[in-house]
Structure 1
């Protein structure tokens, strides 16, 4: 049976900017081949799991060798009859090698389908409130790649009122030199946007003659987009929605708060649970003499547990006679997605002990996803499915923001250790009394916010 390759434009990097067609094809795929320009948690934020995923580095080794490796993986998967998603940042046909890749697929007699994406060349400036066209000063815009194949600088400058420079950080002095030589004023406003629409986004603005030095001083790294033109110099708009730097794992329940910049201080990493460990947990629920329950702390626990159960050659019948308890709304939703209904739903708050409400169960297994409970009765066995590790962006400058929002005390400690008290100079929000107490101990006043019911 022949497979198919889905060439999917992922957009500029924020999961909520992928198209509906792209998301649908991604959900159908068996294999995902993506590069490291997209955030590491991109698929997790879309709720995509259970796929074979290949992440190909974009910043190491020979570019053509990396492209050859991606082509080989994609074609091999399709030849095995699989649906392969080739996930590319931005739009595949704008400086994305999309044409080269579908030509390669045609040469190897592999069927393909295209899902266009939102190009970062337009989405990133828009997200940063940098207009590309402004009447009457900017009536045309040109998109320009600053580097040619092999890494040499592109010296063919386009003619337009606004120029968007892609892949230009490493050769920015050369770009500036050629623009001024072709008549651009040294005072032309320029904005360089690093990691646009992604965690860690920041901007550097300066006149054309000073932008290269400003970018070097700020330590800007790829990916970054440079916008040159009068639109960059427009005044900041006072009614722009506040930017909320959200340090938790899942920002989706809090999108109502405003413009969320997801910057996870901790990222969940699925543990490699052995069959023996899974069997020990399930054996704890065996027997008929006591009432038994399996407690899911969150949606991640539900998804991962049933994946582990399937890989171990078991299914829902293993839980015959066992009550299913959802300890969060997220767990309820994930169970419903599997056509399962929780026997009990508990939504613990700071002053509510979930286990006191389950004291009629003789024994239970608590399946821990991202959320954990510190104290449990002796008859309740724990099955941890995730470890939490510091986010990969630590060491990079904090994104520009107006509010920073913490979900747990560990995030506060990590940010304090990495950035000091300077990280707390703006308004501070948190999601629990425990986190508020941690901040108060540091002499920082915070506001507690909660997701809507």
Structure 2
């Protein structure tokens, strides 16, 4: 007899992937099938196993449905009856205008086990991220959630606008953009003052959040002038007045800036996190993939003769990770490095050594391979010394060549390889064509070359024209030199070549050119 599966209705929250509950993340990590909505941030799918079945059933306003509700119900039933663990990922909270009740009823009718996990609803998120407290002792102690789009098959509306208009201090209206003029008119006709403050928030909690402030009398005209489209919520009430001093989300220094991150997906998290905390909208476009080598014979041979070297040089965190992975696979650990001095090209690389109980003996002031070679030579650590340099198979030769010219013996061994990524080119090209990119960040020469390879097209002149409108940011001079080879200027480069300093340079640059203040 086949084992029956189980369905988990999980609230995905309003959009910001950081607002997913811990329980929701735990269930996603166990999912065999994820059925997700238009309003569920696709980044949440990274919590799911790689072999998980992903089914998009997005529904938008205006009848643009990927699936009908009946089909969604059938999908949940079929996969559960096949014995799978199903996560139904729904934007906001499943039971607040999310039709979660209907899906649960369908599961119950078939005797399928289920669990519902609440999520941060769009109402509280839209208010909080716009600086509007939906309740406030000075203004109101009551709030009502209302749908602005009832079931079109119902013969009569069950919304009593006459009672709602003055029956709750704050009104939060879901899915009300299309009918906003009519809703505002009904509220005023039922006794709500025309000068009552009102706000409309689109894409609440997301980097592309937009808000429009007005009164009940003019909010419809303001929304039309600002071309606000769904998904958006309407907040009506005196609490909107508090926004002036509480609004924090849209005041962040990089809010409204679209910044492309070209690092590998595994390495991008630190840069993306820091930029998003400052308000940036990050488009992750990994241009390279880091892979293990097909042949490790050179590195393995070097590991067997570590005692023959005086120095071990690391030029990137990737090198550290792959070197020690291979060392451990050979049945050894950090004790095998006894007697070796270790030099790292920068603070990030030095930090990567710490989990292995090691500290770098030598760091250059400037974080480049060339600067490391020059610093070692100037300190008298080159002539007659024997260096082991594990690095990427495609790495440059400046560091070993300079050391050899100064009388050192350098053994270069590949520890990993980088290959061009191929998936993100279309999304980046579309964003460039739409003029929706403010900056592209590059953290190595390979990210530059692979990015331009991804964007290669027949109309090279048009591509260069599109890139000319975008600020290009390089983490250091080597990367900047590679950008220059394509005939393009570098607008942003930090003095110290670390991720933290790159973020600081971006912040400094765009603070001087902050986008126009939003209403």
The alignment partner of 2:54 has SS state of strand
Change (3 A) 1:30 1:256: same
Aligned partners of 2:79, 2:315: CA distance in 1, in Å?
Answer: 35
Aligned partners of 2:234, 2:270: CA distance in 1, in Å?
Answer: 30
Aligned partners of 2:468, 2:160: CA distance in 1, in Å?
Answer: 42
Measured after TM superposition, the shift of residue 72 of structure 1 is 2.6
Bigger CA drift: 385-394 or 28-37? 385-394
Residue from 259, 278, 282 that aligns with 1:264: 282
CA contact (8 A) 2:353 2:359 kept: no
Change (3 A) 1:374 1:7: farther
Aligned partners of 2:393, 2:293: CA distance in 1, in Å?
Answer: 8
Uncovered stretches (5+) of structure 2, i.e. residues with no partner: 262-267, 305-313, 334-343, 377-385, 399-411, 456-462, 502-519
| Residues 1:169 and 2:205 are matched in the alignment | no
Change (3 A) 1:354 1:182: farther
Aligned partners of 1:255, 1:431: CA distance in 2, in Å?
Answer: 18
Change (3 A) 1:420 1:287: closer
Aligned partners of 1:182, 1:94: CA distance in 2, in Å?
Answer: 25
Corresponding residue for residue 308 of structure 1: none
Corresponding residue for residue 20 of structure 1: 22
Aligned partners of 1:227, 1:198: CA distance in 2, in Å?
Answer: 18
Corresponding residue for residue 45 of structure 2: 43
CA contact (8 A) 1:248 1:265 kept: yes
Aligned partners of 2:19, 2:397: CA distance in 1, in Å?
Answer: 40
Measured after TM superposition, the shift of residue 244 of structure 1 is 3.3
Aligned partners of 2:295, 2:49: CA distance in 1, in Å?
Answer: 31
How many residues matched?
408
Residue from 388, 402, 414 that aligns with 2:424: 388
Measured after TM superposition, the shift of residue 94 of structure 1 is 0.6
Encode CA deviations 1:11-32: one digit per residue, 9 max, x unaligned: 1111111111111111121221
Aligned partners of 1:382, 1:443: CA distance in 2, in Å?
Answer: 26
Bigger CA drift: 442-451 or 72-81? 442-451
Residue from 131, 151, 155 that aligns with 1:129: 131
Which has the greater radius of gyration?
Answer: 2
Change (3 A) 1:139 1:283: closer
Aligned partners of 1:330, 1:150: CA distance in 2, in Å?
Answer: 57
Measured after TM superposition, the shift of residue 212 of structure 1 is 1.3
Residue from 87, 90, 93 that aligns with 1:91: 93
Measured after TM superposition, the shift of residue 135 of structure 1 is 2.4
The alignment partner of 2:14 has SS state of coil
Corresponding residue for residue 408 of structure 1: 442
Measured after TM superposition, the shift of residue 163 of structure 1 is 0.6
Bigger CA drift: 56-65 or 226-235? 56-65
The alignment partner of 2:114 has SS state of strand
Aligned partners of 1:329, 1:8: CA distance in 2, in Å?
Answer: 40
Corresponding residue for residue 244 of structure 2: 236
CA contact (8 A) 2:252 2:279 kept: no
Change (3 A) 1:350 1:445: closer
CA contact (8 A) 2:288 2:420 kept: no
Change (3 A) 1:171 1:186: same
Aligned partners of 1:180, 1:19: CA distance in 2, in Å?
Answer: 38
The alignment partner of 1:53 has SS state of strand
CA contact (8 A) 1:32 1:53 kept: yes
The alignment partner of 1:234 has SS state of helix
Measured after TM superposition, the shift of residue 88 of structure 1 is 0.8
CA contact (8 A) 2:28 2:48 kept: no
Corresponding residue for residue 313 of structure 1: none
The alignment partner of 1:126 has SS state of helix
Measured after TM superposition, the shift of residue 179 of structure 1 is 1.5
Uncovered stretches (5+) of structure 1, i.e. residues with no partner: 306-315, 367-372
Aligned partners of 2:417, 2:372: CA distance in 1, in Å?
Answer: 12
Change (3 A) 1:218 1:101: same
Corresponding residue for residue 52 of structure 1: 53
Aligned partners of 2:92, 2:397: CA distance in 1, in Å?
Answer: 46
TM-score normalised by length of structure 2: 0.61
CA contact (8 A) 2:142 2:169 kept: yes
Corresponding residue for residue 311 of structure 1: none
Higher helix proportion (structure 1 or 2): 2
Encode CA deviations 1:74-123: one digit per residue, 9 max, x unaligned: 22222222211111111111101111111111112211112111111112
Measured after TM superposition, the shift of residue 201 of structure 1 is 0.6
Corresponding residue for residue 32 of structure 1: 34
Aligned CA-pair RMSD: 5.4
Bigger CA drift: 189-198 or 435-444? 435-444
Aligned partners of 1:108, 1:34: CA distance in 2, in Å?
Answer: 21
CA contact (8 A) 1:192 1:224 kept: yes
Residue from 167, 173, 180 that aligns with 2:188: 180
CA contact (8 A) 1:12 1:123 kept: yes
Corresponding residue for residue 432 of structure 1: 475
